[in-house]
């Protein structure tokens, strides 16, 4: 594709640059509108500058990808509701940065192994006519090694950070345990049972008042103290009788409340309500039926297990359908609607957790990137690099990888595949049929791993970043530069090692 008119090239480059700046720096001082508004602004400028028509802008929106994203986000909401992620993850007060990078980068690398792993692979599988099995055999070794190398890079870069945080956590936990022990040691609520030394201690508090010859003005107080002492002794005997008749496990958790009336000898004992008892082990034997409130009944437990099983089965069915080659978008949407029906509740709370701002961002990005492609700049770049990008030479593979890597991060990986796929295949087919197949696999591998280079390189990066920012218990923003520090070395090393494994 030749370059468009000078006016379209300049205006299209300006619109794309504005989109790129606002996507990379969502809080720039001159226009702090954020990524989503930035993508819509870039799309609007493409239409206003007449780089593309309104109809072309609407046609540029990839509805299957949006449907796939929406469906998978709804499914993930129900998986979270079914405690799947609670069982898979453990909280250790560790920094979220390396774990978010691990999640996004591993998702990108892992998606390269199958034709349905990501949208660009699906395009390649349709255009190249490569079978499902041949695709897996060709890229699976590179994917496995890439995952291991990526994990090793993460450990090397963030080992010190994780170790320091872990030491702080251990120190904090030790301090909390010691403090808890101290507080429990002197807390009346944690006393296991009332023994005679405790009662003797209470009695000793009144010893100063036990005077041989009390003054006349203190006769009333002395009589009152003597009455209290007699009552405490009587209480001690009654408590011993209760403890001797109760099971051993209940002795450590019984307590009594007494109401003393001046001048009265009658005492009334009341059991402490269940919410005030620290340990209730064995109390049902002594006080049957008292502590059954608040416990999950077998029926409710069975109902919860049944509902969670349905969520997991629907998710597994969705994955099997995708592996069978069914339409990715409608498969994900069908699974999402199945979960909504099976939940049998108002779906609004779950649907509100879907990141609609991310879907709008993709709409604007599709239009903006399509307009930039229509300027002819990406195709002109390939025409200049094509003679040096022959796949039958190591140097040609390196050049091709660099071109795909750059374009995937500038124009997105799916448009890069749509733009370069046919041209790369034609160039490789002139050598041999085997080289043509290899060129498609190289395009799939590099365009997918290229998503790890920057925060804007793939949908997985943006989804992880957005979900981490929206999480109420995390609210962490993965910045563009923090991602780039890890993304550049990881992408270069993983891509290079993987290229040696492509067959």
Predicted local distance difference test score (pLDDT) of residue 2: 77
Minimum mean pLDDT range among 77-86, 240-249, 493-502: 240-249
Predicted local distance difference test score (pLDDT) of residue 252: 44
Rounded Cα distance, 142 and 171, in Å: 41
Predicted local distance difference test score (pLDDT) of residue 214: 43
Rounded Cα distance, 173 and 181, in Å: 12
User: Is the confidence at residue 254, as pLDDT, over 90?
Assistant: no
Q: What is the pLDDT of residues 359-375, one digit of tens each?
A: 998 899 889 988 988 99
Residues 436, 441, 447, 451, Cα dihedral to 10°: -170
What's CA 426's distance to the chain center, in Å?
A: 42
Predicted local distance difference test score (pLDDT) of residue 151: 93
C-alpha pair distances (Å), 107 with each of 320, 338, 485: 18, 25, 18
Compute the Cα dihedral for 181, 182, 187, 193 and give only its sign. Answer: positive
What value does the mean pLDDT of the chain take?
A: 75
Predicted local distance difference test score (pLDDT) of residue 246: 44
Predicted local distance difference test score (pLDDT) of residue 234: 56
Q: What percent of the chain has pLDDT over 70?
A: 70
What is residue 261's DSSP assignment? -
Predicted local distance difference test score (pLDDT) of residue 241: 54
Minimum mean pLDDT range among 6-15, 138-147, 326-335, 379-388: 379-388
Cα radius of gyration (the chain): 35
Predicted local distance difference test score (pLDDT) of residue 211: 37
Q: What is the mean pLDDT of residues 174-199?
A: 38
- Region of 36 on the Ramachandran plot (φ > 0 left; ψ -120 to 50 alpha; else beta): alpha
- Region of 129 on the Ramachandran plot (φ > 0 left; ψ -120 to 50 alpha; else beta): left
Helix (H, G, I), strand (E, B) or coil at 391: coil
User: Is the confidence at residue 282, as pLDDT, over 50?
Assistant: no
Q: What is the pLDDT of residues 84-128, one digit of tens each?
A: 766 555 655 567 778 888 888 998 999 999 887 887 887 888 788
User: Is the confidence at residue 10, as pLDDT, over 70?
Assistant: yes
What is residue 262's DSSP assignment? T
What is residue 2's DSSP assignment? -
Q: How confident is the model at residue 386 (pLDDT cuts 50, 70, 90)?
A: confident
Task: With residue 258 as reference, give the H or E element that holds it.
Answer: strand 256-258
Rounded Cα distance, 103 and 11, in Å: 37
Predicted local distance difference test score (pLDDT) of residue 420: 84
Q: Which of 254, 194, 255, 199 is nearest to 228 (CA)?
A: 199
Cβ distance 497 to 503 under 8 Å? no
Concatenating the DSSP letter of every residue in 27-46 gives T-TT----HHHHHHHHHHHH
Pick the more confident residue, 112 or 23: 112
Rounded Cα distance, 334 and 265, in Å: 75
Helix (H, G, I), strand (E, B) or coil at 257: strand
Pick the more confident residue, 117 or 492: 492
- Region of 187 on the Ramachandran plot (φ > 0 left; ψ -120 to 50 alpha; else beta): beta
Q: Which of 466, 457, 458 is nearest to 356 (CA)?
A: 466
Rounded Cα distance, 327 and 404, in Å: 27
Q: What is the mean pLDDT of residues 182-198?
A: 37
Q: What percent of the chain has pLDDT over 90?
A: 30
H helix count then E strand count, the chain:
22, 2
Q: What is the pLDDT of residues 261-273, one digit of tens each?
A: 444 444 444 444 4
* Number of other CB atoms surrounding residue 174 within 10 Å: 10
Pick the more confident residue, 136 or 119: 136
φ/ψ of residue 496, rounded to 5? -65, -45
Q: Which of 57, 63, 40, 118 is nearest to 361 (CA)?
A: 40
Domain borders along the chain are: 6-166+311-499
Predicted local distance difference test score (pLDDT) of residue 198: 43
Cβ distance 418 to 380 under 8 Å? no
Predicted local distance difference test score (pLDDT) of residue 187: 35
- For 420-458, b where at least 16 C-beta lie within 10 A, e where not — what string? bbeebbebbeebeeebbbbbbbbbbbbbbbbbbbbbbbb
Rounded Cα distance, 81 and 96, in Å: 21
User: Is the confidence at residue 43, as pLDDT, over 90?
Assistant: yes
Predicted local distance difference test score (pLDDT) of residue 309: 92
Predicted local distance difference test score (pLDDT) of residue 224: 52
Q: Is the pTM of this model over 0.85?
A: no
Q: What is the pLDDT of residues 211-244, one digit of tens each?
A: 344 444 444 545 554 555 555 555 555 545 544 5
Predicted local distance difference test score (pLDDT) of residue 356: 92
Task: With residue 488 as reference, give the H or E element that holds it.
Answer: helix 480-499
């Amino acid at each position: 594709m030749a370059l468009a008119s000078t006016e379209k090239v300049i205006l299209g480059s300006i619109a794309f640059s504005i989109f790129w700046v606002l996507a990379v720096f969502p809080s720039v001082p001159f226009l702090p509108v954020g990524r989503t508004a930035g993508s819509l602004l870039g799309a609007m400028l493409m239409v206003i500058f007449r780089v593309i028509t309104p109809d072309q802008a609407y046609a540029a929106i990839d509805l299957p990808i949006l449907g796939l994203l929406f469906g998978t986000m709804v499914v993930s909401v129900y998986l979270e509701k079914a405690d799947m992620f609670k069982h898979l993850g453990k909280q250790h007060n560790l920094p979220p940065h390396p774990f978010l990078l691990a999640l996004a980068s591993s998702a990108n690398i892992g998606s390269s192994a199958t034709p349905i792993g990501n949208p660009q692979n699906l395009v390649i599988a349709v255009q190249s006519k490569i079978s499902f099995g041949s695709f897996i055999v060709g890229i699976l070794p590179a994917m496995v090694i890439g995952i291991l190398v990526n994990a090793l890079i993460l450990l090397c870069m963030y080992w010190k950070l994780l170790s320091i945080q872990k030491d702080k956590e251990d120190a904090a936990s030790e301090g909390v345990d010691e403090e808890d022990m101290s507080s429990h040691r002197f807390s009346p609520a944690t006393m296991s049972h009332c023994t005679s030394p405790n009662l003797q201690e209470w009695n000793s508090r009144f010893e100063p008042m036990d005077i041989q010859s009390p003054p006349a003005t203190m006769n009333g107080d002395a009589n009152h103290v003597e009455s209290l002492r007699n009552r405490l002794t009587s209480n001690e005997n009654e408590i011993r009788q209760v403890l001797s008749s109760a099971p051993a496990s209940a002795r450590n958790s019984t307590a009594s409340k007494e109401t003393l009336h001046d001048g009265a000898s009658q005492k009334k004992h009341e059991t402490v309500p269940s919410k005030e008892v620290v340990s209730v082990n064995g109390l049902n034997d002594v006080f049957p039926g008292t502590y059954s409130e608040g416990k999950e009944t077998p029926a409710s437990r069975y109902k919860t297990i049944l509902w969670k099983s349905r969520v997991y089965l629907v998710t597994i069915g969705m994955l099997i359908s995708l592996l069978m080659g069914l339409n990715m978008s409608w498969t994900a949407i069908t699974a999402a609607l199945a979960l909504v029906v099976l939940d049998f509740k108002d779906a609004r709370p779950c649907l509100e957790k879907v990141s609609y701002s991310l879907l709008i961002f993709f709409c604007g990005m599709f239009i903006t990137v399509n307009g930039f492609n229509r300027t002819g700049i990406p195709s002109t770049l390939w025409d200049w690099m094509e003679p040096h990008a022959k796949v039958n030479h190591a140097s040609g593979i390196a050049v091709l990888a660099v071109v795909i890597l750059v374009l995937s991060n500038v124009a997105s990986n799916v448009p890069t595949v749509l733009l370069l796929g046919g041209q790369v295949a034609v160039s490789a087919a002139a050598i041999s049929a085997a080289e043509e197949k290899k060129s498609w696999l190289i395009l799939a591998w590099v365009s997918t791993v290229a998503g790890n280079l920057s925060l804007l390189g793939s949908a997985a990066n943006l989804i992880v970043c957005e979900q981490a920012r929206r999480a109420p218990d995390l609210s962490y923003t993965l910045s563009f530069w923090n991602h780039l520090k890890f993304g550049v070395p990881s992408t270069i090393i993983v891509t290079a090692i993987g290229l040696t494994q492509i067959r």
